[in-house]
Every structure is written in C-alpha cells, then in structure tokens.
Structure 1
Amino acid sequence: MMSFFMGLLLVLTLVVLHQRFLGFAAQKPEDYADGKPDFDIRRHFDGTIVCEGVIYGPTGRVVSRFVADMEARWDGDTCVMQEEFRYDSGATQSRCWTFRMNPDGSFRAEAPDLAGPGRGVQKGSGVQLKYRIKLPEDSGGHVLDTTDWMYLMENGAIMNRSQFRKFGIPVAELVATMRPKEAA
C-alpha cells in the first residue's frame, strides 16, 4: 500500500513540475522580450478587430466556436474595448474592457465579469494578461483563474491562447485569432 502512495506522489510531483517548468504556465513575458514585431496594445488594440476562435473543454475536445467583433478606442493611456461574441450555439455575449497603461508598459484590465482587476505585461512580440473571470450562472457561476497569452504575427494578426483553471487544474482552453477588420 505504501508503494501505491509513493507512486501517486511521484506522478503528482511530475505533473506539477511539468506545469510549472515545461507547460503553458511556464511562459514568462521575458521569454518574448526580444521577439519581433513589437506588440504594443495601444497600436494593435485600436479600431475595429475581428476575432475567431474555439473553446476546448477539460477533455481537450472543442465545446464551442465563436466569432467576435471588437471596437477599441484609446484616450491617452486608457482604452475602452467593446466585444460582441456570437457562439455556434446561437448564444451572444457582450463584454466591455477598460485597459489602463502604466509608464513601464504593464497595464491594468477591468471588465464587469472579472473578480477584481487583471494585470497585463507586454514584452517584445508577446502580451500576457492574468485575471479571474466569473462565469455566467447558466455556466455554473464559477470563478476561474485565467491566463491569456497573445502573440503578434508578422502580418499584424494576433494569436491568442488562454487557459482557464479552477483550483490550479486546467478546465478549459481558448485559441483565437484577432485581426484588424478590413475596410469595406
């Protein structure tokens, strides 16, 4: 019986070490500091943006697809970005973000469905944003720890990968692209 618990402890230790040093959570903004092109959210989150993505559930299967229209406007170091999501289920969702830039390039993010402010850092070609999001009641009403990683591509598109965790355990992941909407 003791060897079972020792084996279980070893497996749990390896999982924690993998997540901390090798997995998604191991990324740091400094990893992208020398990356090009430079991602400046003041420039790349400005105007009308189209977003398309998928959400993966805890089993790794796609549980939802979405398209979103975003409208971002800056006034000095403050941005208001309105998002309008349309899901494959027919459901819609709106979110209004407020971003406030700090002199060092970090930023604060707020939205009505966040449990407290989010914190962001932009370095080189990457942006990391961490926040706690409150799910709607019809989705369980849970509060999830969220990490968004956004990477600026050479053509101006932004690749977004987000991980949602509950008690440190990944429960969902989002992958999306964002790009400026082409003029009609």
Structure 2
Amino acid sequence: MLTNLLKVRYLAVATILSSTLLLTGCQAQLSDYDNTTPNLKYENYFQGPMVAWGMVQDYQGKVTRRFCVEMTGTWQNNTGVLAETFYFDDGEVSYRNWQLTKVANDKYIGEAEDVIGEASGTVNGFAGKWQYTLSLDVGESNYHFALDDWLYQLDEYRAFNKAKMKKFGITVAELTLFFDKQTPLRTCDKKGA
C-alpha cells in the first residue's frame, strides 16, 4: 500500500514538473517583437508628466485593488527619475521614485525604495521587460515578490503594462496598467481609483 501511495505521489510531482517546464518554454520572449514599432525607449516615453490606471488581480483572477498613478519622468543624458504617486481605491496613497540608468542601447537598470537590489530591463521593438524583487507590506508582515514586468508601447502617448508577482516561482497576483500621456493630461481621482 505504501509503495502504491509513493508511486501516485511520484507521478503527481512528475506531472506537475513536466507541465511547468512545458509552460515555461512557451512564454513570450523579447525576440518575438523584433522589427515592431514604435521603438520603446524609456528615456523618451517616460519623459514628462503622465497618468496610469491599474488593477491588481489575485491568483484566481479576482480584482482585489484598483489604482491610479500620477507620474513625472525626467532624464538627463542616460539617467532618469520616474516619480510616482499611487492613489488606491481604498484611500491609500503611496509613492515610488525610480532611479533609472540606460547602460546600453537596449538595456536599463533601476532602483526604487521598495525594490530589493537592482532591477534590470531590456527593450526590443515596442516591448520592454523588467525583472526585479519587490518588498511589499501585507498586513503586519513584509514579503518579497519576484516581478516579471512587461511594457508595450502602443503609440506616442499610450502603453500597457502587465506584471506577474511570484513567490517561490508561483504567480500569486497580476498587475495591469494603462498609461496615457496625451495632453490635456487627465488626473487621478484623489478619492480613489
């Protein structure tokens, strides 16, 4: 009986690992966006004021938070600052200041108050991908989440951002944002997203 139970567990673990490896191999790559336009350059797109609207979904796809972000980007040569103010639907207001550096034609690094270590980003065509570890307070506890963060520039003014928050390699939440910098610039509803 114990041998049969071990076989069943082994098969279950093998199936999960095989599925995970198969799905991992099917993920989008930046090379999928070769020769697409507009050419995303963070120093161009994140220059000046803009607004973004977003939501957080849990692992089941349920929307758990909505928010609006007012931000201003300033660049000098290859270094930039992206100052963000988040207005959440529950009344919370939070801030993040990205310190960004362009280190090669298609590569960037960044730091922020709630980012552990250094974020690294690469662009290709209209897409950009960032990877970093985010420190997040949840209730009375602090957790670190790995972020797989994609940005897609649609045109001169608009971009979409999709990020997966992972813990131990498992997606626990997804974030979606829509950026707009077309003038006249809209502003956030300070009473909540």
Q: Comparing both structures, which one devotes a greater share of its residues to strand?
A: 2
Which protein is bigger by CA-based radius of gyration?
Answer: 2
Partner of 2:24: 20
Deviating beyond 6 angstroms after TM superposition, the runs of 4 or more aligned structure 1 residues are none
Q: Name the aligned partner's letter for residue 40 of structure 1.
A: K
SS in 1 for 2:139: helix
Mapped partners of 1:132, 1:84: distance in 2: 20
Identity of aligned residues (%): 23
Indicate conservation of the 8 Å contact 1:48/1:181, yes or no: no
Indicate conservation of the 8 Å contact 1:163/1:172, yes or no: yes
Give 1:104 shift. Answer: 2.9
Partner of 1:58: 59
Partner of 1:168: 169
Give 1:34 shift. Answer: 1.8
Q: 1:139 to 1:165 in 2, by over 3 A?
A: farther
Partner of 1:119: 120
Normalising by structure 1, we get a TM-score of: 0.91
Q: 1:139 to 1:14 in 2, by over 3 A?
A: farther
Mark the runs of 5 or more structure 1 residues left unpaired by the alignment. none
Indicate conservation of the 8 Å contact 1:73/1:79, yes or no: yes
Mapped partners of 1:15, 1:58: distance in 2: 18
**Is structure 2 residue 13 aligned with structure 1 residue 9?**
yes
Deviation per CA, 1:6-57: give whole Å up to 9, x if none: 43123312331243122xxx22222212222211111111111110011011
Mark the runs of 5 or more structure 2 residues left unpaired by the alignment. 186-193
Give 1:146 shift. Answer: 0.5
Indicate conservation of the 8 Å contact 1:162/1:173, yes or no: yes
Mapped partners of 1:2, 1:130: distance in 2: 38
Indicate conservation of the 8 Å contact 2:157/2:182, yes or no: no
Partner of 1:130: 131
Mapped partners of 1:18, 1:92: distance in 2: 40
Indicate conservation of the 8 Å contact 1:57/1:63, yes or no: yes
- Give the aligned length: 181
SS in 1 for 2:15: helix
**Is structure 2 residue 77 aligned with structure 1 residue 73?**
no
Q: 1:10 to 1:135 in 2, by over 3 A?
A: same
SS in 2 for 1:30: helix
For the aligned residue pairs, the C-alpha RMSD in angstroms reads 1.6
Mapped partners of 1:31, 1:19: distance in 2: 16
SS in 1 for 2:113: coil
Q: 1:114 to 1:177 in 2, by over 3 A?
A: same
